[in-house]
Structure 1
């Protein structure tokens, strides 16, 4: 099992996500206030709320992540590039770009690679993740595209947008194994289906570097309740000489 020492450490592996497309500003402020109660690696918000998140979290170590070409990824490369540059200008620390699945199905790996290279060049030292939507791919397609992503210089491969049916833990571990085998230098982020500490621990144990979850706050809170707030009063022991 993954050796998580406490709830604060667990939170550093989690990117707390809220990509609800009908969320109000007040609801987003409430989400960000909850995020500040712990030590998440980042929050993931829509482009609409990047500046709000950056301002709200300015006195914390929590990074702000957002999305490019989300959730379908079929925008042209120049549109994605412009969106990425705009988000960096607004203060985003991490960007997630959705791969063009039509290009992937047609094996247009040169176009996919060029798009990622251009976006990575534009974002510089900021984190770039590439979402491959594994539910739409077979294992051969996964192995091919992660090699392209690694070669193009992306920092992370992400398995899903969260807009499809979540993978079962066994599917997640299979996908992690494929990524580690064919693109060993790229890091791995898992999104979808991680809604409890137990699943989070299994995913980290399976080889993921980060977890993105809408339930990040609840995962950390529950772990804290189970592991840090449980008080056990030992019974006194009396030693008697024989």
Structure 2
């Protein structure tokens, strides 16, 4: 079992996510207030609401992340660079770029590295995550994608956009093992389908550094309810054997 001491520590292992393309401003405000309440590691949101997030989360250490080339990753490098520059102008803390799966399938690793390196140069000391969509890949492709991300200076490999996700814990652990073996220096975020504390704990126990979930608030609140808000009064006992 992953040694989580309390709900605050758990929240710091979650990127609370809302990439709903039809969300209203009032709904996003509600989402961000929940993120503020529990002080997550970060939020991942659409570019539209970065200024709102920076405003609401200004007095917290919750980082604000958004996406480039989302969700398919097939934009050319120039387009992805322009998207990245637009995010940086909004003072985003984390950039998540979807890998070009066509390049990966054709084993054009040099093109992939060049693209990610250019984005990392723009991002500088901010966090860069590379989304690789593991469910759509063979194991050797996952290994090569992770190596490309690490060689290019990315901080995290993220396993899914959320549209195509591994549906079993063993698939996730297999992905973690592959990434750790072939790109041992890069951090790993597992995203997709993590909607309860049990699954979240399994993912962390399996070796993930971070969880991405649109159910982050429910996961942490449920954990808090089970571990911190439940008081059990023990029966009185004696420490000596009765005659």
CA distance in 2, matches of 1:200, 1:14: 9
CA distance in 1, matches of 2:83, 2:51: 14
1:47-66 map, 5 Å:
47-66=47-66
1:241: Cα distance to partner? 6.8
Q: Structure 1: which 4+ aligned runs deviate by more than 4 Å?
A: 238-242
Aligned to 2:167: 167
1:176-191 map, 5 Å:
176-191=176-191
Aligned to 2:149: 149
Name the TM-score, length of structure 2 as normaliser.
0.97
Check 1:217–1:107 CA distance in 2 against 1; reply closer, same or farther (3 A cut): same
Counterpart contact for 1:168–1:193, Cα < 8 Å = no
SS in 1 for 2:5: coil
1:17-75: CA deviation from partner (whole Å, max 9, x where unpaired): 00001001110001001111112000000011111111110011100010000000001
SS in 1 for 2:180: helix
Aligned to 1:3: 3
Aligned to 2:127: 127
Counterpart contact for 2:157–2:189, Cα < 8 Å = yes
Aligned to 1:110: 110
Name the TM-score, length of structure 1 as normaliser.
0.97
1:1-242 map, 5 Å:
1-237=1-237, 242=243
CA distance in 1, matches of 2:242, 2:71: 73
Tell me how large the CA RMSD over aligned residues is: 1.2
User: Gaps spanning 5+ residues in structure 1: where?
Assistant: none
User: Gaps spanning 5+ residues in structure 2: where?
Assistant: none
1:165: Cα distance to partner? 4.0
1:236: Cα distance to partner? 2.4
CA distance in 2, matches of 1:241, 1:184: 57
1:208: Cα distance to partner? 0.5
1:102-158: CA deviation from partner (whole Å, max 9, x where unpaired): 111111111100000000000100000000001111001111111111111100000
